[in-house]
Amino acid sequence: MATVEERVKAATARVLKLDLDQIKQEHSFTVDLGAESVQSVELVAMFEEEFGIEMEEDAALSVETVGKAVAFITEVCAEQGVEVEK
């Protein structure tokens, strides 16, 4: 199974229409990857679908970087009993 980081990067690449190797842990979704506000909503939706979780909108949308998204999603998965590859 792919790791959380790999899955987050794949979902991000799909929504923002980027190549996987363009996405780094330290990248900001908005500043570095060019996500507009509507795409942020799409990203949250895509992560929820990818991991089968429910995220609180305010908290999810305040996550700025890919690395922080990986940590946040890992935490939510643990809280909601969803097994993932770290």
Is residue 21 a contact residue for another protein (CB under 8 A)? no
Count the helix, strand and coil residues of the chain and give each as a percent rounded to the nearest 5: 60, 5, 35
For residues 25 and 40, which CB has a smaller minimum distance to another protein in the complex? 40
C-beta closer to another protein: residue 8 or 44: 44
Residue with tokens 């980081």: 5
Mark the segment that binds another protein (CB under 8 A) among 1-9, 25-33, 48-56, 68-76. 48-56
Site for another protein in 57-76 (CB under 8 A): 57-58, 61
Residue 58, Cβ density class (10 Å: 0-12 exposed, 13-18 middle, ≥19 buried):
exposed
